[in-house]
Chain A
Amino acid sequence: MNRIDALFSRLKSEGRRALMPFITAGDPNLPTTAALITELVRRGAHMIEIGIPYSDPIADGPVIAASYHRALERGVKLAHIFQTIRTLRAETATEPLSVVPLVAMVSYAIIHRQEADRFLREAVTAGFDGLIVPDLPVEEAESLMRKATALDLRLIQLITPTTPPDRALRIARSTTGFLYYVSVAGITGERQSLPAELAQNVAWLRTQTDLPICIGFGISRPEHVRQLAPVADGLIVGSALVRRLSNGDKVSRNEMIQDIGQFIAELASSLDPINTHG
């Protein structure tokens, strides 16, 4: 069974929600990425979203864009990323990480250049369970979806506050794994507060689909987690964590990993009361 499907089925039966941190592959370097994945899982992450650095990420705010550029300037290549994940999967085959889904966030520019068939094959071989392709709207996604499904890879699609209801249903029908609900109309990045109508919009979507719904963009504080966990099946935390990767120059690698682990542990514990009673 695909690890994403298995995770949500397990969490559902336990009445729990998924915590899904995002990190950039290769920022500050790939060994740190592998160490971070391990640490995040140890500190309570259920699923890891791994950003494949791209030179022109138009959906990303300054924090993630800068992280991508740092990784690319240090010469990170796609082949190295796949190799790192493949090795990590091989080395943790008997550990808790072995059931944790890894989801790649990757621009269609990269997939197309590699040719979709080859990219998907390598992603599966490396040990990825799903893909988020933020610049591939549903109109353009059909062929990739067919190919991904044939390889047991999930293609997670996004719904945003600007998506009209009928379109949201079309996206839900053609998505596998889970739906990524974007909390705000805009780019990735931490937000002080999240839109008031967010919970209501997700609750509506909940009545329309059986797919798990995860909320991302702007989530950076324990109170966001407490506010959204009741309506969602999972929460995605990106920029708030990636910002801590930019400290790579100032603190030691171990201190940075500790700091990020601590941050995720705090979010996981604010999810806990809900996960216990919710």
Chain B
Amino acid sequence: MVENRRWLTVLTHAILLMGVLVLAFPIWVAFVASTHQLQTLLQPPMPLLPGGHFFENYYKALTEGARAVGAPVWLMMANSLVMALGITFGKIVISMLAAFAIVYFRFRFRIFFFWMIFITLMLPVEVRILPTYKVVSDLGMLDNYFGLTIPLIASATATFLFRQFFMTVPDELSEAARVDGAGPMRFFKDILFPMSRTNIAALFVILFIYGWNQYLWPLLITTDESMYTMLIGINRMLAVGDDQAEWHIIMATTMLAMLPPVAVVVLMQKLFVQGMTETEK
């Protein structure tokens, strides 16, 4: 700070704290609601401090779920986890291989393939809902893990990132590998892959959040309750029509749905920031 006035410093901290509190307020209310009985929540105003039903509510959510949905939340969590990890690993693997081919080989249609991958950036699910649904349904991929992951694993961003990184790897390394008689896959496995670890970790953080937070796609292709992800489960718990929504269970499920991605961001902040700034370049 250029001016060093005491009141200004205090004011700055006060504003920042206000910002933090305003941003955290919705989550705090959700947490508090997840620790009270439904009866308490139905008589506004609800309390602002946690109640004594934390274990009861979370236990009920995890093992039984809400009345409106036949699946327990632990199953939805497992589905979300499979989907998030499937998308993350799938994207990393196929993008790394494609980038390796594009950087380290000269072959016909190389640039054409690169453009094709680039085009996926401009075709989010939102712009091709019906025809993509039809393809997936024709392939028998509705209501299973293949359908939840494979259609989402093409990634221009990850391919670009790996390509950019491979370009910075000194030519001497591949030259040396060639002189020593190591084949391309050996070079990939023993040199390129270990060197890419930080990039992979940063991508992992970003892609895990992306995968865990998918909503439209699972909404389209899952109808079987045992295949619901967390976010779809919450949506179904809210759709009770004239019945009373079970807010205490819904809020406990919401807290559980936020936990993995928020934990990833907070615990791996450095990688998260690196991933964010790199994937947006």
Indicate, yes or no, whether A interacts with B. Answer: no
